[in-house]
Chains A and B, each alone.
Chain A
C-alpha cells in the first residue's frame, strides 16, 4: 500500500529532514504520525503525494514508485489519494459543493457524473444541508468537512491528513476525528499527522513517532521493517 524503505530526505540548504525512515502502511489501516514541530511529519506526507522526491531510499505508493516515476505520472497517483491540511485549502469564492465538484472537474470527470458524487460525499461528511454555503459562512469544523468531502470524492485508497484538527477547538476536533474513523471504517486507510497526543492516547490505532527525522517509536513494527533495519 504505502511503503517507505530506508528513506532519507535532505532539503536544499538544510539538515536531513528524514533519516533512514522505513515503515509500511497496510490496506485500510489507520495510523497517526506524531512528533515535535519540525520532526518531519509533513515531509513524510509530501513524499507520499509526490510533492517531493526522497533524496535516498524508496517510497512506494500503491504500485507507484515515487522516486523514479516521471512527472507526468504524478496526477495519476494523486487521483488515488485524498489529502487534507490544517488550513483546509478551500476556494473562498466557491460554495461547498462547488469546492468538491472542483476536484472532479479538474480531473476531467464527465459533467453528468459530478452532481451525484458531490451529493454523496457531502452527505457522508454530514454537510448535505450546507452545500450552497461559502467557506466564510462555515465554521472551522465544517470547512474541514468540505475539505474531507473533496478528498473523498475520487474514492481514494488512503486519506492523508496533515494536522486536520490543528485549527479546531475540542468539540470540532472530536467531530472531525469521528468522521475520519468513519471514513476508515468504510475501508479507506488514514494516515494522520497530529500534535494532539490525547487523541493518540485514547485511540486504539497505530502511532508512528518521529524525532529529528527519525522514527523513534512505532506501535506496529512488522517483519518487513525488521528485515529492512
Chain B
C-alpha cells in the first residue's frame, strides 16, 4: 500500500504543471457548475419569497350574495394546491383603496355607489407556486357562475421559471464542456506518466505485480486531483459569492450538503477519467 501512495504522489512531483492543470480544469468545471448552481439557488429563494405573493384573484359579479361567496370560499379551500383564501368584500376593498391610493382619496369619498367588486384572493401552497398550478386553479375557479374576472401574474411567473431553467441548462452545458476538458487533460497526464514510468511498470509486471496494483496509483492520483479540484471550485464559488454579497445584493451560499456534493463530483470525475485512460494507455506499455 505504501508503494501505491508513494507512486501516486511521485507523479505530482514529476509532472507538477500537468497535475496542477488537471486540478485547475476540474476546479473550473465544478466552479462553473457551482456558479450556475448558486444562481439557481438564489433564484429559488427569490422565487419562494415572491411566490408568497403569488395570488389568484377572483372578482365576483356585482350583487353576488355573501352566502354564495362564503360557500365558494369553503369550496376553494379544499383544492389541494390552495393554502389560504381571503375574502374581500366590496366595502373592504373601498377602504383599502382609499388607504393605498391617497391621491384619489377625494375621488373615492365623493362616490355615491361603490364601484369596486368583492373578491376572493387565493394563495397557493409552496410546492404549487408555479405557472401550471396557477393556471389549473384559475381554470377551475373560472367555472364558478359568479366569477366575473380572474387575475393572476402568469407572465412574470413564466419568465422566472424560464430564467431559472436557462441558468440551469447553461450551467450544465458549460460545466460539461469543462468536465470533458478535464477528462482529456487527466488522460494526457496519465499517458505522460505512463510513458515516463514505462520502465517501472515493466519491472512491476516482471516481478509479478497484478494489473490492479499497477493501476492503483493512477486511480489514487485521480481521486486526489478530483478532491483538490472540488475544494478549489468551492473556494472560487465562495469568492464570487462574497464579492456579490459585498457589492451587489444579499445572496446566500451553498449548504454543507451542496459543498460535499461538489467535492464528491470532483472525486468521481478524477476517478473515472483515470480509470478510462489508464485502461487505454497501460495496454501500450
CB atoms of B207 and A154 under 8 A apart: yes
**Bound state CA distance, A81 and B2, in angstroms?**
24
Whole-angstrom CA separation of A106 from B202 in the bound complex: 11
In the complex, are the beta carbons of A89 and B208 less than 8 A apart? no
Query: Do A75 and B209 form a contact, CB below 8 Å, given A91-B200, A106-B3, A111-B2?
Result: yes
A111 to chain B, nearest CB (A): 6
A105 touches B205 (CB 8 A): no
The number of residues on chain A lying at the interface, defined by a beta carbon within 8 Å of a beta carbon of chain B, is 23
Interface positions, chain A 79-126, Cβ under 8 Å from B, are 79-81, 83, 89, 91, 102-103, 105-108, 111
The complex places the Cα of A150 from the Cα of B2 at a distance, in Å, of 19
**Which residue of A81, A91, A154 contacts B203 across the interface (Cβ within 8 Å)?**
A91
**Inter-chain contact total with CB atoms closer than 8 Å:** 53
Question: What is the interface size of chain B, counting residues whose CB is below 8 A from a CB of the partner?
Answer: 16
> Complex Cα distance A105/B2, Å?
8
Cα-based distance from A154 to B203 in the complex (angstroms): 14
Would you call A206 an interface residue if the criterion is a C-beta within 8 Å of the partner chain's C-beta atoms?
A: no
Name the distance in Å between A153's Cβ and chain B's nearest Cβ.
9
Q: Across the interface, do B213 and A78 meet the contact criterion of CB distance under 8 Å?
A: no
Whether the Cβ atoms of A83 and B2 lie closer than 8 Å is: no
Residue A13 is within 8 A (CB to CB) of chain B in the complex: no
- B207 touching A150 by the CB < 8 A rule? yes
The answer on a CB contact under 8 Å between A79 and B207 is yes
A76 within 8 A of B: yes
Determine whether the beta carbon of A78 is less than 8 Å from that of B206: yes
- Chain B residue with minimal CB distance to A84? B206
Report yes or no: B207 in contact with A107, Cβ–Cβ below 8 A. Answer: yes
Contact of A108 among B200, B203, B206, B213 (CB under 8 A): B213
- Asked whether A79 and B200 contact (CB < 8 A) given A106-B3, A111-B2, the answer is no
Q: Mark B1-39, 1 if CB is under 8 A from A, else 0.
A: 111000000000000000000000000000000000000
Q: How far is the CB of B193 from chain A (nearest CB, A)?
A: 15
Q: Which of A78, A102, A111, A154 contacts B205 (CB 8 A)?
A: A78
Is A72 in the interface zone, CB < 8 Å from B? yes
A interface residues (Cβ-Cβ under 8 A, vs B): 49, 71-72, 74-81, 83, 89, 91, 102-103, 105-108, 111, 150, 154
**Can you sample 20 A-B contacts with CB below 8 Å?**
A71-B211, A72-B211, A75-B210, A76-B208, A77-B208, A78-B205, A78-B206, A79-B208, A81-B208, A89-B202, A89-B203, A91-B199, A102-B207, A103-B207, A105-B2, A106-B204, A106-B207, A111-B2, A154-B207, A154-B208
